[in-house]
Amino acid sequence: MKNKLGVTGALCTAAVVLLVVTGAQAGVLRPGLYEGLMLAVDGGGNVSGSFAQQGSCTFRIAGRASSQSAAVVRTIVEGPAPSIEGRLSAGADSLTVSLALPGGQQLPGCGNVLPPLIDNGLDLDLTHKGGWTRLVSVSADRTALQKSPGDAGRAYVVRGDVLGVVSEKAGLLEVDFVNTQGRLLHGWIAAKDAKAIAAP
């Protein structure tokens, strides 16, 4: 005759182990605006990001996910500054990311802006969900941000502005742009006027 208490005890232990294991899993890297980091993630595991704080500390990152919850990234900066390899990981709730860039305070304009936590992981909270599969930088002096395809558009984005790509259609990119006031603008630009943010 089987010991029913032993079977019940084993089932309870298995349930507790399952809860602990699933509870310990990390979240998933998702596109969005995480405080100063605009992040895009595509279905193939490529990630690209643009970080800007206080106007002087700006850099881009690109890399490849090593899992659904983490990616190895490398900084992309203008000028002679060296590229830094780091790690981007999702928080357990997928509402935060942690960006670790050893020596990140040495990036141009970041010395007095980034805290020392950047070396081991600076946590950034999600402030706006995004559906971006990649980020692009405006390569033309300026290009119209059309409300819809074919619209003449009165708004413009300028060289160096970073846009999150939502979709692409007939030589146009459907994009989101976060302006300096933190306001999200949605529209379309000519694909020829932008270049992808990619690993160096």
Of 129, 164, 185, the residue at which a domain comes to its end is 129
pLDDT of residue 10: 39
pLDDT of residue 59: 92
Kindly state the average pLDDT of the residues 74-100. 90
pLDDT of residue 1: 44
With a cut of 70, say whether residue 9 has pLDDT above it.
Answer: no
Residues 50 and 96 in one domain: yes
158 — pLDDT class (breaks 50, 70, 90): very high
| Residue 172 belongs to domain with CATH number | 2.30.30.40
Residues 101 and 145 in one domain: no
Q: How many CB atoms lie within 10 A of CB 34?
A: 25
Q: Give a yes or no: residue 109 inside a domain.
A: yes
Write out the residue range of the structural domain in which residue 65 sits. 32-129
Q: Give the pLDDT confidence of 88-138 residue by residue, as tens digits.
A: 999 999 999 999 999 999 998 898 899 999 999 999 999 999 999 999 999
User: How far is CA 36 from its chain centroid?
Assistant: 10
Of 110, 129, 148, the residue at which a domain comes to its end is 129
User: Going by C-beta distance under 8 Å and a sequence separation of 6 or more, which residues neighbour residue 174?
Assistant: 165, 166, 167, 168, 186, 187, 188
With a cut of 80, say whether residue 87 has pLDDT above it.
Answer: yes
Q: Give a yes or no: residue 98 inside a domain.
A: yes
Of 129, 161, 183, the residue at which a domain comes to its end is 129
What six digits make up the tokens of 95? 């509402």
- H-helix or E-strand containing 122? strand 122-129
d(CA 10, CA 132): 45
Q: How many CA atoms lie within 13 A of 48 on its CB side?
A: 21
Q: Where are the alpha helices (DSSP H) in the chain?
A: 4-23
Residues of the chain with pLDDT > 90: what percent?
61
Residues 83 and 113 in one domain: yes
3-state SS assignment for residue 156: strand
pLDDT of residue 150: 79
Q: What are the beta bridge partners of residue 135?
A: 164
- Tokens 């802006």 belong to 113
